[in-house]
Amino acid sequence: MKLKRKALPMLAVTAMATAAVAAQGLTGGFGVPKAAAEKTDMQWLAGDHHVHSEWSVGWDNTTNPPTPIRGGDAIYPIVKNAAMADSYGLDWMVSTDHGGPNHSKVNLEQAYPEVLKARDENPDLKLFYGMEFDTPAADHSSLIIPKSDAESQTLYDIESKFNKRDPYPSDPQRDTETNMIDALNYMKNLDLAPVLFANHPARSASGETKWGQDTPQEFRNWNDTAPNVSVGMEGAPGHQAGAINPDGSIDPKGDRGGYGNYATMGGFDQMTAKVGGLWDSMLGEGRHWWITSTSDSHVNWRDGGSDFWPGEYSKTYVKAQDTYSSILDGLRNGRIFVTTGDLINQLDVTAQAAGKSPAHAQSNGNRASIGETLKIPGNGKDVTVTITFKDPNAKNNHGDNPKVNRVDLIMGEVTGKVEDRSTAANPTTKVVARFDESSWQRDGETVTVTYTLKNVNKDSYIRVRGTNTNELEPILDPKGENPWSDLWFYSNPIFLQTK
**3 in a domain, yes or no?**
no
Rounded to whole angstroms, the Cα distance separating 43 from 101 reads 41
Predicted local confidence at residue 15, as pLDDT: 33
Residue 272 domain flag: yes
> How many domains would you assign to the chain?
1
Q: How many residues does the chain have?
A: 499
pLDDT of residue 353: 93
pLDDT at position 38 is 54
336 in any annotated domain: yes
pLDDT of residue 39: 62
Per-residue pLDDT of the chain (499 residues; tens, 9 = 90+): 334 443 333 333 333 333 333 332 323 333 334 444 456 689 999 999 999 999 999 999 999 999 999 999 999 999 999 999 999 999 999 999 999 999 999 999 999 999 999 999 999 999 999 999 999 999 999 999 999 999 999 999 999 999 999 999 999 999 999 999 999 999 999 999 999 999 999 999 999 999 999 999 999 999 999 999 999 999 999 999 999 999 999 999 999 999 999 999 999 999 999 999 999 999 999 999 999 999 999 999 999 999 999 999 999 999 999 999 999 999 999 999 999 999 999 999 999 998 654 444 444 458 999 999 999 987 789 999 999 999 999 999 999 999 999 999 999 999 999 999 999 999 999 999 999 999 999 999 999 999 999 999 999 999 999 999 999 999 999 999 999 999 999 999 999 999 7
Residue 5 lies in a domain: no
| 408 falls within a domain | yes
- d(CA 294, CA 200) in angstroms, rounded, equals 10
Note whether residue 280 is domain-resident. Answer: yes
Q: Is residue 1 part of a domain?
A: no
Q: What is the CATH number of the domain that holds 340?
A: 3.20.20.140
Q: In terms of residue numbers, what domain contains 84?
A: 15-498
Is residue 208 assigned to a domain? yes
Task: Return all residues near 438 (Cβ < 8 A) that are at least 6 apart.
Answer: none
The pTM score is 0.92
